[in-house]
Amino acid sequence: MRENRRPPAVLPVATVAMTPDLDPAKSRARIGELIVAAKSRRPDLRLILFGETILGWFHKKGESAAYHQRIAETIPGPTTNYVAGLAREHDLYVSFGLSERHGKRIYNSQVLIDPTGEIIATHRKFWMRSPAFHAGERRLTLADVDGVRVAILVCADARSFWLMRAIRRAQPDIVLASLADYGTDLRLNRMMGAFYDAWNVVANRCSEEPPLVWPGLITVTDPWARMRAHEIGKEQTLHFRIPIARPRAIGRLARRTYVLFRLIALVIGFAAAAFGRSLNRQMRGRSTAG
Q: State the 10-residue block means of pLDDT for the chain, 290 residues long.
A: 73 98 98 98 98 96 95 98 98 98 97 98 94 96 97 96 96 96 86 90 97 96 93 98 81 69 70 74 61
Nearest CA among 164, 156, 152, 166 for reference residue 135: 156
Query: What's the pLDDT at 106?
Result: 98
pTM over 0.85: yes
Query: What's the pLDDT at 4?
Result: 57
**CATH numeric code, 10-246:** 3.60.110.10
Please state at what angle helix 186-196 crosses helix 161-170, rounded to 10 degrees.
50
Query: What's the pLDDT at 121?
Result: 98
Nearest CA among 10, 2, 241 for reference residue 144: 2
CB 189 within 8 A of CB 196: no
N- to C-terminal Cα distance for the chain? 67
User: Domains of the chain: which residue ranges?
Assistant: 10-246, 249-290
CB 205 within 8 A of CB 54: yes
CA dihedral 190, 196, 201, 206 (to 10 degrees): -60
Query: What's the pLDDT at 187?
Result: 81
